[in-house]
Amino acid sequence: MNKRIVEIAPSVLSADFANLAREIEQVESAGADVIHLDVMDGHFVPNITIGPPVVASIRKITSLPLDAHLMIENPDRYIDSFIRAGVNWLSVHVEADTHINRTLQHLRANGVRAGVAINPGTPLGALDEIFPWVDFILLMTVNPGFGGQKFIPSSLRKIRHLRDSIVLNRYPVRIEVDGGIDSGNLKDVLTAGAEIIVAGSAIFSSEKGASEAVREMKGIAERQIKNQHLV
């Protein structure tokens, strides 16, 4: 495996939306690397969240990369609005996009990192034909729609399998994981091969406070990377 960089991506889904600027500022100064934004339409998932205007407002208050996770049907209809709103990374669900190859090329042509999200029940084979157009895979480790759910244990095997095929084929594709990740299972997730770690409730609902939760996760990630380089 090449030199690994682990990034922590707090998901603001579990933040206090009336105080988003303050919440984001806290995780940013604690060392968060990316801000993860969960976009839900009430169709692809049974919940509704934010759209481009909120993303554009968030763009003004942070210099961190914005990572939009679109849990919506017909994502192509909205992608340009999210690009205009200032996202840097964007993922669409493989289950929701009929012409995903075209979508991914469009993202890259617009300077946005192209991501594909995949649900726990979808086999990895659904990704086989699109790796050359993908910058990152967002592997869901819960069924999308809500924060605060429990990590699905079989996800570890799925992360390992994805890592193996990426390494085998030498694709320059990173693995992002999302759902139920906290300081208790972070080490396992990293060992399995994840590199970008989304965490919502473990950060914004933490009793220690969001800043401390980010520092703790960054610390675990740094130790883990050092250990992997020793072996």
Name the minimum Å distance from CB 115 to Zn ion. Answer: 11
Scanning the structure block, which residue is given the tokens 């993202």? 107
Name the minimum Å distance from CB 71 to ligand DX5. Answer: 6
* Phi, psi dihedral angles at 227 (to 5 degrees): -60, -40
C-alpha distances (whole Å) from 194 to each of 54, 59, 185 are: 28, 26, 12
How many other CB atoms are found less than 10 A from the CB of residue 164? 12
- The residue count for binding Zn ion (CB under 5 A) is 3
Q: Which residue is nearest to Zn ion (CB)?
A: 69
Residue type, 147: G
Catalytic residue ranges:
38, 178
Distance of CA 108 to the CA centre of its chain: 17
Q: Binds 119, which of ligand DX5, Zn ion, none (CB < 5 to 8 A, cut-off by type)?
A: none
State yes or no: residue 145 binds ligand DX5 (CB under 6 A): yes
The window from 20-28, 73-81, 198-206, 219-227 that contacts ligand DX5 (CB under 6 A) reads 198-206
State yes or no: residue 178 binds ligand DX5 (CB under 6 A): yes
Sites for Zn ion among residues 54-73 (CB under 5 A) = 69
* Partner residues linked to 178 by β-bridges: 140, 198
Sites for ligand DX5 among residues 66-95 (CB under 6 A) = 69
The window from 120-128, 149-157, 158-166, 176-184 that contacts Zn ion (CB under 5 A) reads 176-184
Is 23 within 8 Å of 190 (Cβ atoms)?
Answer: no
Q: Which of 198, 203, 178, 219 has the alpha carbon at shortest distance from 24? A: 203
Pick the binder of ligand DX5 from 192, 202, 213, 220 (CB under 6 A).
202
Instruction: Tell me the per-residue interface mask from 147 to 176 with ligand DX5, x by CB under 6 A, - otherwise.
Output: xxx---------------------------
What is the C-alpha radius of gyration for the chain, rounded to an integer number of angstroms? 16
State yes or no: residue 15 binds ligand DX5 (CB under 6 A): no
Pick the binder of Zn ion from 33, 38, 41, 97 (CB under 5 A).
38
Q: List the structure tokens of 11.
A: 């998901």
Name the minimum Å distance from CB 1 to ligand DX5. Answer: 25
How many other CB atoms are found less than 10 A from the CB of residue 162? 21
61, 56, 112, 38: CA torsion to nearest 10: 90
Q: List the structure tokens of 18.
A: 């009336």
Name the site residues for Zn ion (rule: CB under 5 A): 38, 69, 178
Binding site for ligand DX5 (CB under 6 A): 11, 13-14, 36, 38, 69, 142, 144-149, 178-181, 198-202
